[in-house]
Structure 1
């Protein structure tokens, strides 16, 4: 025999109600209503909602799915990302699309628009408006072309540019919107923008006039509290232009001379009230990572992935606040067979046509094919071209340059703007400073940290420290020297000579470098206080193009002024 058990609360209530011996018609209605109300109260399910967030980052002006330098198809670009966005919106039409910065700089398309024909609407804003972005967090490269170009693009956007920690100089007042709040299915979603604070160390001072960059962690704490308490946000998304500052597998912190250049983990760990952290700046792909109470994700670079995050919420009734009960994220890859969105292609096609015409212009010749494949391991004619231009343009004694693209190639025969653009991919400008022999050696020693401590039997290529970006390995022209990897870091530069003689520590030289280095970028602090002897507003890329156009012929042999020593082989 099975005993049927009632809820104690329901049994007690029924006993009280049924205990009346005489019940009027009105009373009968009351009993029925009471019982019905009790049953409905116990069976009502809480309200549910889902907020879908889509994110891009570090697009760097890439719309079309091709490599501008090889002219081959590529599995990236905003046009392909647009196809993924539209597919998701068929099932989730209220999905919010955000960008985490470094958007208007970084491709020939973006460069040609900014420097050669900035009158039309910025092509990235044109495409992003069509896709219905709700915000863009300002990245460090948004400042590369100066404030006039930045503000023009910002004003052409149909969505706010966010940066809670970019403030007016001498104040705590944000110079841009710190956040935006959107409502999705009755849920208030606050999106907070935070920018990496290292910009003064990388950017020309006139590109950030009147601006300062506040501590990102303090700014996040201040504005998350505001979103929760004043804006009554049910969900808070921190859209950061910064990445993770630590290898979570090893616990090793990423080296950076800029305090809190990347502070995503610290923000996730210490700032309460954040549901989702979207990252950028480091070009990594992170599909899903839970740190403390926050979910973190990052979509790679150039539109090669799209982040999708789904936040599930519930509340007991309409008078209560929503709370997140589950969350998930993933990165959706852009593939070779992902079709680019035809509307986005059509919008940007006139910009693309003008860019391709510029890139295809022949400006000189080379007697032999020059490649940058080994340019970080030996002296090469292709990098010597950069050095030669910097020496000439700056009337310098010594030039310092890095190989930015080891896939760069200058063909035998006609040389085009495209070939030079592939060699010098950054929008740096030329700076000539006065350095002593001791300071120059310090710079070369800092550069030589690109290689790990010596291990017998390993080649220079095998000793490369992969945690140090190759673009921070500078080599010099105008002096002769060797990098002896058998010696400890900080004491590797040997036989340093200028004009055939040992370089005296107090000898003052005119040294050509780029603005990024002069501002201390890559940890080259010895440049920061060095007297400026010459400064060009023209990009070094344009100086190289002009040099080739004027001289017509590119020298095909390296000067062989530096070498790496590892023992048996050099």
Structure 2
């Protein structure tokens, strides 16, 4: 046989043979997400001054163990709300501003591959989050955070990660509800587009330009619900999973509710959706197995779980690396502020006048000389102990870095505001055996609702006025304002100066807009005063000047009719707090 004939035969044989083993390979990846860490970097709660269940120190051990098995095929992502929550954050955001932010140092040390913004990260203001972004080794993503000067994303919209021949695209998104919670000075020059709409645009671009093998969404947006109006939807993860074809995995957060869901999208493809809740007690863990044939994806298998990491060992090398920073933070929180004459409890705030809530009310009124104060319980179940008040206690007393604001409101608006608050908070009792609290047991594990139907941080009470809340009445007709607390007549037509936090003054919780009926665009013009520094700073300064604080309930409002409400309050207290 001629040589040319042999060559032709060999070529023909090769064309008819299946792909060889060398041309087919299976790649296994682990893609991990933390979300809503809120400063839980170490296994110690610097506010409550006790050991903490979770923390990134335990996450670090979990990640390191997987890296031993998977090598570089472990991808680590953070989903925002990491710059606020513990004194660890506050100290490096606002006190030790000449030093590197501990958040960037921790994410760099743990070798995160990407991060995205949370609403509480934006709340720190440009000076903090711009510095954090600049110190990060990994990109901070935000495809729907738009620079109004350029019309382009303010940070990278997505990042491409390549592992063992597999191309992974990670697209970052932030809930567009930011303008309803935060004053414009904190996000000046930015706008926040809808997630579902933005996702469709960026998926189309990725398909055209990058052609990734795996597409991951990193969304700081809850599953569903939240605020919905003509301008935006707060929680868009479920809708995006269903309506936008192209995602393999959606990591999400913001709602502090651990969740795993597998959604079949409009094209009939399955999307794995994982939310690890908050405070680094869980991690979202996706396992991706891809078969590549001739360099192209022939088969893709994706599974995943939300995994509890509270039993993981603390990473001793991590703790040793940050020992100096831990000592600095302890020095900061151990500073004495004043004395407290009696122990006070946040749990009392749900069931009537409480010394805890009224302490903040009274300090707000004293600081601003306002007529009326609004305030909600920002902690579900904590206490300030009798005796010395330390700086750590100020984070119990006031959880967030809100400023103090004073707005002009009419008496009628004040009443309507409270009507909405108590409608969110209380049930309409139709018999003496009914619940007085508006409870939804499906939310028992929700770290923002705690078994209530609605967010507890929107349960505003008032000081400066005396009033009753008749829980037998329907929504909108529960509140009866009797008088000003100084004995003067309350006038529905009169203008009053009302003190509240900046979250509320900007429309947060919709108590001013949907409740009081004030148009969102009117709120800046209604604001007579906004503090330069955060609420906690001024509360601490006021306590220092007073020396000893005698915190007692104001007894300026009550639930009625008491023949029904008193037994109902005791029943619901035992139900909610299990004793």
The answer, yes or no, to whether TM exceeds 0.5 is: yes
**Contact (CA 8 Å) 2:118, 2:254: kept in 1 or not?**
yes
Q: Report the secondary structure of 2:529's partner residue.
A: strand
Q: Report the secondary structure of 1:243's partner residue.
A: coil
Change in Cα spacing, 1:427 to 1:32, as seen in structure 2 (3 Å) is closer
Change in Cα spacing, 1:45 to 1:505, as seen in structure 2 (3 Å) is same
Q: Which residue in the other structure is 2:503 paired with?
A: 516
Change in Cα spacing, 1:28 to 1:236, as seen in structure 2 (3 Å) is closer
Q: Which residue in the other structure is 1:276 paired with?
A: 249
Q: Which residue in the other structure is 1:316 paired with?
A: 293
1:417-446 deviation line (CA, Å, top 9, x unaligned)? 222321211111100011100010011001
1:15-41 deviation line (CA, Å, top 9, x unaligned)? xxxxxxxx6687578657755764455
Q: Which residue in the other structure is 2:211 paired with?
A: 232
**Contact (CA 8 Å) 1:126, 1:347: kept in 2 or not?**
no
- Distance (whole Å) between structure 2 residues aligned to residue 347 and residue 39 of structure 1: 56
Q: Which residue in the other structure is 2:44 paired with?
A: 66
TM superposition shift of 1:301: 0.8
Change in Cα spacing, 1:369 to 1:202, as seen in structure 2 (3 Å) is same
5+ long unaligned stretches in structure 1: 1-22, 246-252
Task: Establish whether residue 468 from structure 1 lines up as the match of residue 454 from structure 2.
Answer: yes
Cα root mean square deviation, aligned: 2.2
- Distance (whole Å) between structure 2 residues aligned to residue 462 and residue 446 of structure 1: 14
TM superposition shift of 1:566: 4.7
**Contact (CA 8 Å) 2:196, 2:244: kept in 1 or not?**
yes
TM superposition shift of 1:64: 0.6
Q: Which residue in the other structure is 1:562 paired with?
A: 557
- Distance (whole Å) between structure 1 residues aligned to residue 383 and residue 19 of structure 2: 73
Q: Report the secondary structure of 1:265's partner residue.
A: helix
- Distance (whole Å) between structure 1 residues aligned to residue 180 and residue 542 of structure 2: 29
**Contact (CA 8 Å) 2:78, 2:115: kept in 1 or not?**
yes
Task: Establish whether residue 490 from structure 1 lines up as the match of residue 476 from structure 2.
Answer: yes
TM superposition shift of 1:385: 1.1
Aligned residues, how many?
Answer: 538
1:35-91 deviation line (CA, Å, top 9, x unaligned)? 576445598884432332111111112111122233221221111101100111111
Q: Report the secondary structure of 2:539's partner residue.
A: helix
5+ long unaligned stretches in structure 2: 441-451, 567-579
Task: Establish whether residue 299 from structure 1 lines up as the match of residue 276 from structure 2.
Answer: yes
TM-score normalised to structure 1 length: 0.89
**Contact (CA 8 Å) 2:427, 2:435: kept in 1 or not?**
no
**Contact (CA 8 Å) 1:234, 1:323: kept in 2 or not?**
no
TM-score normalised to structure 2 length: 0.88
Aligned partner of 1:503 among 468, 473, 490: 490
**Contact (CA 8 Å) 2:436, 2:471: kept in 1 or not?**
no
- Distance (whole Å) between structure 1 residues aligned to residue 561 and residue 78 of structure 2: 46
Aligned partner of 2:151 among 162, 166, 172: 172
4+ aligned runs moved over 3 Å, structure 1: 23-47, 253-258, 458-465
Q: Which residue in the other structure is 2:409 paired with?
A: 435
**Contact (CA 8 Å) 1:79, 1:341: kept in 2 or not?**
yes
Aligned partner of 1:266 among 236, 239, 242: 239
Change in Cα spacing, 1:150 to 1:26, as seen in structure 2 (3 Å) is closer
Q: Which residue in the other structure is 1:13 paired with?
A: none
Change in Cα spacing, 1:191 to 1:32, as seen in structure 2 (3 Å) is closer
Q: Which residue in the other structure is 2:34 paired with?
A: 56
Q: Which residue in the other structure is 1:414 paired with?
A: 388
Of stretches 79-88 and 497-506 in structure 1, the one that deviates more from structure 2 is 497-506
- Distance (whole Å) between structure 2 residues aligned to residue 367 and residue 44 of structure 1: 76
- Distance (whole Å) between structure 2 residues aligned to residue 404 and residue 371 of structure 1: 12
TM superposition shift of 1:342: 2.3
